[in-house]
Structure 1
Amino acid sequence: MMNKIEISAEPKEISVNRRIIKSNIQVTAKARERGNNKAIAGLPLSAVFEKGSGNVFPSFKSDENGLAKVLITQISSRDAEQQIAIGVNPNAFENNDSSAVFSLIAKKLVVPKAAVLLHVQRPLVYVTASEKSLGAEKSSKELTNAVTNYLTQSGFEITDDSKKAEMAVDISSDTEKGVQSGNIFITYLSGSIRVKSLPDGKEIYTSSLNRVKGYSLDFERSSQQAYAEGLKKLTHENLPQILSYITQ
Structure 2
Amino acid sequence: VREPLDYAQVAKKNALNDLASEISVEVKGESFLNTLEVNRQFHEEFVSNITTTTREKIEGYEIAGTYETSDEYWVYYRLSKAKHDMLKREKKNQVLNAAKDLFLKAEDAAITHNVPVAIDMYLRALLEMQEYWTEVNQFEVRGETVYLDNEIYSKLRQLINELQIEPGTTRIVLKHNNRYLEELNVLIHRKGNPLAGIPIEYLYDKGKYMRPKSSVSGMDGRARVLVNDVHVANKENSLVIELNIEALIDESLNQRFLKPLIASLKTQRVEVPIEVIMPKAYIASDERNLGVPTDGQPMRSTIQNLLAETGIQFVTSPADADYVIDVVASTSKGGTSQGFHVAYLEMNMTVREAVSGNELYRKSLSNVKGLQLNYDAAGVEAFKKGGQKFEKEILPKLIDTLL
- TM-score tier, shorter chain, comes to 0.7 to 0.9
Which residue of the partner structure matches residue 217 of structure 2? Answer: 62
Farther-moved stretch of structure 1 (222-231 vs 232-241): 222-231
Q: Which of the two has greater strand per residue? A: 1
Specify which of 20, 28, 32 is matched with residue 189 of structure 2: 32
Residue of structure 2 in register with 1:14 after alignment: 172
| Cα separation, 2, equivalents of 1:27 and 1:56 | 19
Matches within 5 A, 1:41-52: 41-49=196-204
TM-score (norm 1): 0.84
What CA distance in whole angstroms lies between the structure 1 residues aligned with 2:206 and 2:379? Answer: 45
Contact preservation (8 Å) 1:81, 1:120: no
Please report how far the alpha carbon of residue 127 of structure 1 lies from its aligned counterpart in structure 2 after TM superposition.
Answer: 1.1
Residue number in structure 1 paired with 2:292: 136
- Which of structures 1 and 2 has the larger relative contact order (alpha carbons within 8 angstroms, sep 6+)? 1
Deviations 1:193-230 (A, max 9, x none): 11101211000111011011111222122112212211
* Corresponding residue SS for 1:194: strand
Post-superposition offset of 1:119: 2.4
Quote the residue 2:387 is aligned against: 231
- Tell me how far apart the structure 2 counterparts of residues 140 and 106 of structure 1 sit (CA, whole Å): 64
What corresponds to 2:23 in structure 1?
none
8 A Cα contact 1:57 1:71, kept in partner: no
In the alignment, the residues of structure 1 paired with residue 309 and residue 336 of structure 2 have an alpha-carbon distance, to the nearest angstrom, of 40
Question: What is the DSSP-based 3-state SS (H/G/I as helix, E as strand, rest coil) of the residue aligned with 1:75?
Answer: coil
Larger radius of gyration: 2
Shift of 1:80: 4.8
Q: Does 1:89 align with 2:244?
A: yes
Match of 1:184 in 2: 340
- Could you tell me whether the CA contact under 8 Å between 1:18 and 1:120 is conserved in 2? no
In the TM superposition, 1:93-108 aligns within 5 A as: 93=248
* Kept in 2: contact 1:5–1:32 (CA 8 A): yes
Of 39-48 and 69-78, deviating more is 69-78
Q: Displacement, 1:38? A: 2.9
Equivalent-residue separation in structure 2 for 1:125 and 1:27 (angstroms): 28
Give the residue type in structure 1 aligned to 2:268.
P
Where in structure 1 do 4 or more consecutive aligned residues deviate above 6 Å?
51-57, 94-98, 100-109
Secondary structure of the residue that 1:186 maps to in structure 2?
strand
Deviation at 1:5, TM superposition (A): 2.0
| RMSD of Structure 2 on Structure 1 (CA) | 3.0
Structure 2 CA distance for aligned equivalents of residues 55 and 18 of structure 1: 23
Question: Which stretch shows the higher mean deviation, 64-73 or 107-116?
Answer: 107-116
Identical columns (%): 22
d(CA) in 2 for partners of 1:156 and 1:105?
48
Q: Distance in 2 between matches of 1:105 and 1:234?
A: 55
> 1:189 deviation in Å?
0.5
Larger proportion of helix = 2
Please state if 1:147 is matched with 2:303. yes
Q: Distance in 2 between matches of 1:159 and 1:75?
A: 24
Q: TM-score, normalized by length of structure 2?
A: 0.54
Structure 1 SS opposite 2:320: coil
Q: How many residues align?
A: 244
The Cα offsets for residues 140-192 of structure 1, whole Å up to 9 and x where unpaired, read as 22221121122222121101121121110111111100111231111100011
**Are 1:72 and 2:230 matched, yes or no?**
no
Deviations 1:60-107 (A, max 9, x none): 111123212322233341445531112213563467677578778878
For 1:195, the equivalent position in structure 2 comes to: 351
2:167 alignment partner, SS class: strand
